[in-house]
Structure 1
Amino acid sequence: MESGFRLAQINVGTLVAPAEHPQVADFMNALEHVNALAEEAPGFVWRLVDDTTAGATDIRPAPDLEFIVNMSVWTDADSLFEFVYRSAHTPFMARRREWFHRPPGAYQALWWIPAGHVPTVDEGLSKLWLIDRYGPSPKAFTFKARFPAPDMAGLPVDMKPDPWCVGHA
């Protein structure tokens, strides 16, 4: 049974240096490739783009100019999980500590949206706040504590440890 909902995701980070700095050049140079991988991945629906690039790095939702945001929509959590953790995207994600400061709070949120809805950055940031304030819930959750789409039966699923913390004390 196909759901009438899609999975929205936001992930945010604060670069360790300005986008033009050589310290984050590998990250910035990989964005076009990684975005193309996402668009070709099974289950991909939509991703946030700014008005000047093929990415979203020019969208600045916070006063800190090194704070960047990424958002996308997927048909389901398994498709997104496969892309993030089991595709050519994974080696780039494994290098995130080179390019980003350790996040002080939630840096990724997942939530269900009606099919056809395009989430806003403010909507995504509010989901991060919900996780920081209340923990995972049907309104905003993580890969570790997933919730089924509102029109699907099932209980929350305790899936994976937080990938930022795995292997790092």
Structure 2
Amino acid sequence: MTGAYELAQVNIARMRAPLDSPVMKDFVGGLDEVNAAAEASEGFVWRLVDTEGDNATGLRFYGDEWLIVNMSVWASPEALRAYVYGSDHRPFLQRRREWFEHLAEAVTALWWVPAGTRPTVAEAEARLTILREQGPTPEAFTLKGGFAEPEARAAG
């Protein structure tokens, strides 16, 4: 890896109930801990927060008040994978159906950004739309079907 690029990721979820409901209590109650674990993970670069620096649970995606968004930037797919499937995040992942509806369309997209770039929600919406419409491409892909950094692809 050249280090000229970092890996941006977005994932969305459709809540089963409002954030202040009993259904969502454990999810909301665990956010600070799971986000702190992400920030302490090797390869973590950045995550989306709201204007107060808190979890971005008030931000919406595709204009839908029931969709919440998580965005972050990582040094590599390996770093993101280690966190997502690691012991700090896995229990959250395993309980996702308690809190969120199953969506038939893709809910997670990855793409390369120049190092130091922080993606916007609008950009993330566009990338997820690309993935949904075209499947994995260098512009939007998944952890399962990733693409090398742009410079590595050009050199290959």
TM-score normalised by length of structure 1: 0.87
**Distance of aligned partners of 1:123 and 1:141 in 2 relative to their CA distance in 1, 3 Å threshold:** same
AA aligned opposite 2:119:
P
Q: Which runs of 5+ in 1 are unaligned?
A: 155-169
Distance 1:103 1:81, change over 3 A: same
Deviation at 1:75, TM superposition (A): 0.4
1:153: Cα distance to partner? 4.8
Aligned pair in 2 of structure 1 residues 14, 53: CA closer, same or farther (>3 Å)?
farther
In structure 2, the partner of 1:117 is 117
Q: Following the alignment from structure 1 to structure 2, what is the Cα–Cα distance between the partners of residues 51 and 128?
A: 23
The residue that corresponds to 2:17 in the other structure is 17
Relative to structure 2, which stretch is displaced further, 62-71 or 140-149? 62-71
Contact kept, 8 Å, 1:109 with 1:140, in 2: the verdict is: yes
Partner of 2:152: 152
Could you say which residue in structure 2 is the equivalent of 1:68?
A: 68
1:133 aligns with 2:133: yes
SS at match of 2:109: strand
Please report how far the alpha carbon of residue 19 of structure 1 lies from its aligned counterpart in structure 2 after TM superposition.
0.4
CA deviation after TM superposition for structure 1 residue 117, in Å: 0.6
* Residue ranges of structure 2 left out of the alignment (5+ in a row): none
Identity over the aligned pairs, expressed in percent?
A: 45
Give the corresponding residue for 1:91: 91
Higher relative contact order (CA 8 A, sep 6+): 2
Say whether 1:142 aligns with 2:142: yes
Q: Which has the higher helix share?
A: 2
Q: Matched residue of 1:66: which SS?
A: strand
Cα distance between partner residues in 1 of 2:152 and 2:80: 18
Q: In the aligned structure 2, how far is the partner of 1:32 from the partner of 1:131? A: 29
Distance 1:107 1:78 in 2: 20
CA-CA distance at 1:103 after TM superposition: 1.3
Count of aligned residue pairs for this structure pair? 154
Shift of 1:58: 1.0
- Tell me how far 1:53 sits from its aligned partner: 5.4
| Contact 1:52–1:58 (Cα < 8 Å) also in 2 | no
Distance 1:63 1:117 in 2: 24
TM score, norm. by length of structure 2: 0.94
Q: Secondary structure in 1 aligned to 2:98? A: helix
Provide the rounded CA distance (Å) in 2 between the counterparts of 1:117 and 1:87: 28
After alignment, is 63-72 or 12-21 more displaced? Answer: 63-72
